[in-house]
Structures are given as C-alpha cells and as structure tokens.
C-alpha cells in the first residue's frame, strides 16, 4: 500500500477534476451546436426533416450513454478511424447532449402561442427571420432552467468516460483507491467535488425557473 496524505489525495483529485470540467464544457458547447441543427430539423415544415430529427433524438435518448461511448471508442477503429479516449468522450457526450438539448428547446418553441408566428408573418418576416427575431429568443428564455439542469446531468455523466480510459475524476479516484485501499476517503472526496460542481448550478436553475416567463 502506498502512503498518501490527505492533501496528496485532494490535490490529485482536483487536478483530475479539471478534465471533468473541460470535458463537460466541450460536450455542452458541442451539444448545443449540434442540438441547434437538430432543433431546426425538428421544427421544420418539411415532414421528412422532422422525422429525421425525431429519429435522431429517439436513438440517442433511447440507448444507454455507455453503449454510445463504447461504439465511439471501440466501433470507429474497426472502420479504420483511430480515436483517442478524449475524442471518443467528447463525441459521445456531444451527440448525447444534442439530443436532449434539441428536445428541451423544442418544448420551448411548442410552448409559444401560434399567434407569435402569425405576428412575424404579418410583419413580412420570412421563416428564418421569425425564428431568429421572435421564436427562438422567447423559447430560450422559457427553457433556460431545464438547459442549466441538463448541464448538471452532463457533468455527472462524464463519470462514464472512465470506462473507455479517459483520465477524468472517477478514473483517477479508482487509481488512487487501488494504491491506498481507502475507498471511503477517496470516493467520499469525489462525491464532494461533484457536489461542489453541481450544487451551484442546481441552485441557479431553480432561480431561473422562478424567473421564467409565464405562458
């Protein structure tokens, strides 16, 4: 058994937590970009575009995230695409996040009365202008709280990337525990770090929910 002081354990876990935060931010930003594209397809006038978007959302919401990460990390190399754990983790979480964000934002669009679309048309705005100037700003205002709430879920979901070898908080804690044989101390500190990351966001989401416009 290797001797680790409490500070040694905390320092190594905090260093690993940087990668958890970075992975969460990269996946959230990537998920928002892809999710926006899926949203446009989901609310398009063309029924085939809506079906494609619905199928995409159903696929990534209806399958375990762990299986999606496995397909990225183990499946893509079989197609001749060499991929590192970081890339596989970002891609897997990005597609996962995009499906949920697109559906969250779609619910905001659907919550708006049809009169908002009619008002845009009466002003002579075309479809994209209506979305950019009228519909999406209001939809995003309505869905700010669930969007932040999903970010909390995404941060916790990064723990699964330890299975494909990405050196984030959980994988580092496993290595420390194997060296120290102090699971209560190590995993207790991991739980505290995740709590410190997620609790402020949870409180912020609650404040946003109280300030959300009433429809």
The residue extents of the domains of the chain are 6-211
What's the topology of domain 6-211? MetI-like fold (1.10.3720)
pLDDT band at 123 (very low <50, low <70, confident <90, very high): confident
| 3-class DSSP state of 182 | coil
Q: Residues 135, 109: contact at Cβ < 8 Å?
A: yes
**pTM of the full predicted structure?**
0.93
Q: pLDDT tens digits for 100-117?
A: 999 999 999 999 888 888
**For residue 215, is pLDDT > 60?**
no
CA distance 178 to 7: 17
pLDDT (tens digit, 9 = 90+) per residue, 24-67?
Answer: 999 999 999 999 999 999 999 899 999 999 999 999 999 999 99
Nearest to 141 by CA among 58, 77, 211, 59: 211
Q: What does DSSP assign to residue 62? A: S
- The full DSSP string for 32-51 is HHHHHHHHHHHT-SSHHHHH
Helix, strand or coil for residue 116?
helix
């Amino acid at each position: 058994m290797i001797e680790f002081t409490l500070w040694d354990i905390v320092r190594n876990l905090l260093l690993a937590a940087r990668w958890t935060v970075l992975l969460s931010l990269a996946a959230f930003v990537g998920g928002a970009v892809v999710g926006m594209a899926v949203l446009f397809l989901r609310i398009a006038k063309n029924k085939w575009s809506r079906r494609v978007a619905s199928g995409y959302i159903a696929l990534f919401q209806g399958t375990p995230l762990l299986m999606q990460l496995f397909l990225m990390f183990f499946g893509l190399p079989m197609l001749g695409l060499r991929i590192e754990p970081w890339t596989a983790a970002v891609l897997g979480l990005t597609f996962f996040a995009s499906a949920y964000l697109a559906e969250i934002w779609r619910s905001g669009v659907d919550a708006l009365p049809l009169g908002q679309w009619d008002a845009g048309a009466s002003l002579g705005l075309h479809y994209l202008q209506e979305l950019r100037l009228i519909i999406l700003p209001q939809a995003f205002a309505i869905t700010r709280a669930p969007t932040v709430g999903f970010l909390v879920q995404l941060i916790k979901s990064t723990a699964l990337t330890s299975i494909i070898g990405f050196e984030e908080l959980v994988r580092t804690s496993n290595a420390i525990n194997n060296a120290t044989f102090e699971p209560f101390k190590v995993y207790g500190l991991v739980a505290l770090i995740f709590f410190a990351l997620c609790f402020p966001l949870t409180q912020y989401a609650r404040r946003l929910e109280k300030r959300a416009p009433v429809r």
